[in-house]
Structure 1
Amino acid sequence: MGPDAPYQVHEVPDFTLECGATLRPAKIAYQTYGELNADKSNAIVYPTWYSGRHWDNEWLIGSGMGLDPENWFIIVPNMLGNGLSSSPSNTPPPWDRARFPKVNVRDNVALQHRLVTEVFGIETLQLVLGWSMGAGQTYQWAVSHPEMVRRMLPFCGSSRTAPHNQVFLDSLRTALQADATFQGGWYEPEALPVRGLRAFARIYAGWGFSQAFYWDEVWRELGFTSLEDFAVGFWEGFFLDNRDPNNLLTMLDTWWTGDVGRTPGHDSTEDALASIKAKAIVMPAEKDLYFPPEDEQWAVGHMSNAELRVIPGVWGHFAGGGANPVDTAFIDAAVKELLAS
C-alpha cells in the first residue's frame, strides 16, 4: 500500500504532553489488521518508526507470518509528528509548523494507550513490537504498562538513545536548519527547504546501512546502478517523498530524548528495564550503526526475562526495514516463536 492506504483517527479532546502544552484535540491515526476476538485476548501493538507511516509496517504482516491477521488483531498506531497523527504539518494555528510542541516517547505511548483502551477496551496486549523508534516505543510500553504487555520484540532500536546516536541526530537537525529556505521552520508548504532535505538524506546514507553493505555494493540488490544512483534515488528520494521538515524535527526530538529511565516512578534506565515483566526477544542488527548489539546486550542484562538475538548480515539498521527477505524471515521466525511461548 501507499499514501492512499486507508486509516482511522481517534481524537482525544484535550491531551496534555509532558512538556506542558495541550493538544486540543490530539489525533492518533491508526490502522488495524485482523479481527479482535470476543474476549479481546489477541491484540498486538506495532508502532511506526522515524517518518514511517502505518503502511510501511505491512511487510511484517500477512498470511502464514507471525503477525497473521487470521489469528491476531494488529494495531499499527502512527507516531505523533509523522504527518498523519497530530503533527506540525496538519495542526491549525497557533500550534502549527515551528510552534508545534515538543513530543517524547512517553507522550506517544500514553496516546496509544488511550487508543487501545478507549476505542477497543483492550486490557492485555499479547505482543508489542517495532523497528527503530518503534522499538523505543516497545520498550516504553513495557515500562509504562508492565501488567498489560505480555511479550515484547524490539528490533534495531533501544531503550535509551545513546550519545553517539544523539550526535548523528544533531547533524541532521543542523543540515535542515542551515538551508536559508527553512526560515526557522516558517517556510511555506509549497516551498520546502529542498537543499536541506537533500543534505539531511546524504547524512542518513552513511548511517542507515553498514560499511560492509557499501563495500559489497549490496545496493545493487535494490536495483541501483551506482553509488550516486543509490544516494540520490534511495536516500534523497526517501526524504523528498512527502516528508515535511518540521515533522522530521518533531520526531527527531522524540528520538533524541528517548529514555525509559525518565518514566515517572523510576530513577534510572537500569531501574526501568528491571521493572519490565514482558517476555522479551531483543533483536539488534549485527552492524547497526545507531543501535549496536553491545548496547542492547547491556539492556538485556538489566531485564528479568529477555533474550538477545542478533540479526546477522551486512544490512545494518535496515535489517529491520523489510527491504530484504533473509532478514525479514529471521525477524518473522522470532515473532512466531515468541507468540507461541
Structure 2
Amino acid sequence: MADHDIFDIRSFVLQRGLTLPLARLAYKTYGTLNAARSNAILYPTSYGAHHSDIDWLIGPGRVLDPTRWFIIIPNQFGNGLSSSPSTLAEPFGLGRDPVFTHVDNVAAQEQLLREVFGIERLALVYGWSMGGQQALHWGALHPDRVGAICAVCTSARSSPHNRVFLEGIRATLTTDSAYRDGRFVERPVKGLRAFARVYAGWAMSQAFYREELWRSVGFSSLEDFLVRSWEANFLRRDPADLLSMIETWMASDISANPVYGGDLARALGAITARSIIMPSETDLYFPTADSAIETAMMPNATLRPIPSIWGHRAGNPAQNPADEALLRQAVQDLLAG
C-alpha cells in the first residue's frame, strides 16, 4: 500500500501553457497541525527523490522535529509519484512530455496547503538542492506567507555552469540507443549507469574521493560505491522522469514569472522571510561564491556555509552526523526567531 496521500487538481494549467486534465500531487505529513495552523513546515523534494528518500531527517532530535512541528513533504512534479511522464496518459508521452517548472510546483503546493489543511502561512520552508530552489520560489512568490527559509546547497537561478552539468547528464540518457524520436522505446540501462557515474563525480568533492570517505559508510571499494550507491539509486527511476526533472532544474529561476519579469535582484529583494542560506564549501553544483551573490540581495538573509568535504551531499547528510548537526542548528535558530 502507498505510504502517502494524493491531492488531485483538475484542469491544472502549467506555466509553459499545457493543461493537465488531472494533476496529481503526492505528499506525506509528519506530526500534528495545531489548532492555530501555525506550526507548519514545508519540505519539498530534491532531484530524483521521493519523500521516503529524504524523510530520514524528520524525527525527535533530528533536523525537523515532528513532536513540535507539522511537516509536509510534497513530491515535485516529474519525480514518479506526483504527475510525471511515467504516470501521464496520452496525449502526453510519445515525445510530448510536458515541462514542469517550480512555479507549477509551488502553485500546486499552495493549493494543497490551503484547500486540504487550511494553512495560510508557513513557519518554515526547508529544502535541499531542488527542494531549496522551491523554498526560494516560495519566498519570492508568496513573501507574506513564509516566516522563514532554510535553503541548503541550492540557488535562486540555475547558473550557466550548473546548466552545463545538466546538459552532460541529460546527454548520457538521450544518446543511449533506447532513446529514439524524442522518447525511450526501451529501458536505457547503459545510459542510466553512465548517468549515475557522471553524477557521482559531481555530487561528491575531490577531497571526499581522495580521502576515500566511501569506506566510512560501508563500501569496500570505489567501484562498490559507484555500483551499489550511485547506479542502484538511479536504476530505480524512470528515465523519462529523470529527464523531466532535469528540465525543471534547468528552468529554475525565481524571477522567471510575470511578477518579476526576469529581474532576479527584484525577486530576491522581495523575500522578506528570515533566511539562512547554506552552501557546502565543496559543492560543485552550487558554489559558495554564487550563494554569496544571491544572499547579498536578500534583505533578511544570512549566509552560513557548511565546512564539509562531502560536496553537494553535505546538504543531505544521512550518513554524516557532523553536517546534520549544522543543519539542525540552523533550523533551531530560524524557528526560535
Taking a change above 3 Å as real, the CA distance of residues 211 and 97 of structure 1, as seen in their structure-2 partners, is farther
> How is 1:287-302 mapped onto 2 (pairs within 5 angstroms)?
287-302=282-297
Please give the TM-score of this superposition, normalised by the length of structure 1.
0.96
Partners of 1:91 and 1:97 within 8 A in 2: no
Q: How far apart, CA to CA, are the structure 2 residues paired with 1:17 and 1:276?
A: 24
Name segments (4+ residues, structure 1) moved above 4 Å. Answer: none
* Corresponding residue of 1:246: 240
Q: How far apart, CA to CA, are the structure 1 residues paired with 2:319 and 2:61?
A: 19
Q: How far apart, CA to CA, are the structure 2 residues paired with 1:7 and 1:198?
A: 29
1:82 aligns with 2:76: no
How far residue 5 of structure 1 moved from its aligned partner, in angstroms, is 5.9
Q: How far apart, CA to CA, are the structure 1 residues paired with 2:183 and 2:307?
A: 43
RMSD: 1.2
1:272 aligns with 2:267: yes
Cα deviations across residues 32-51 of structure 1 (Å, max 9, x unaligned)? 00111111111110000001
Q: How far apart, CA to CA, are the structure 2 residues paired with 1:179 and 1:262?
A: 32
Q: Report sequence identity in percent.
A: 50
Bigger mean CA offset, 75-84 vs 172-181: 172-181
What amino acid does structure 1 have at the position aligned with 2:191? G
Cα deviations across residues 66-104 of structure 1 (Å, max 9, x unaligned)? 421111110000000000000010111111363221111
* Corresponding residue of 2:5: 8
Please give the TM-score of this superposition, normalised by the length of structure 2.
0.97
Any idea what SS the aligned residue of 1:199 has?
Answer: helix
* Corresponding residue of 1:122: 119
* Corresponding residue of 1:198: 193
Partners of 2:63 and 2:324 within 8 A in 1: no
> How is 1:144-293 mapped onto 2 (pairs within 5 angstroms)?
144-188=141-185, 191-241=186-236, 243-267=237-261, 268-293=263-288
* Corresponding residue of 2:329: 333
> How is 1:313-324 mapped onto 2 (pairs within 5 angstroms)?
313-321=308-316, 322-324=318-320
Any idea what SS the aligned residue of 2:302 has?
Answer: strand
Taking a change above 3 Å as real, the CA distance of residues 325 and 66 of structure 1, as seen in their structure-2 partners, is closer
Cα deviations across residues 171-227 of structure 1 (Å, max 9, x unaligned)? 111110111112245435xx4110111111111011000011011111111211122
Taking a change above 3 Å as real, the CA distance of residues 115 and 97 of structure 1, as seen in their structure-2 partners, is farther
What amino acid does structure 1 have at the position aligned with 2:17? G
Q: How far apart, CA to CA, are the structure 2 residues paired with 1:65 and 1:208?
A: 23
Out of 31, 36, 53, which is 1:34 matched to?
31
Structure 1 residue ranges without an equivalent (≥5): none
Q: How far apart, CA to CA, are the structure 2 residues paired with 1:226 and 1:34?
A: 40
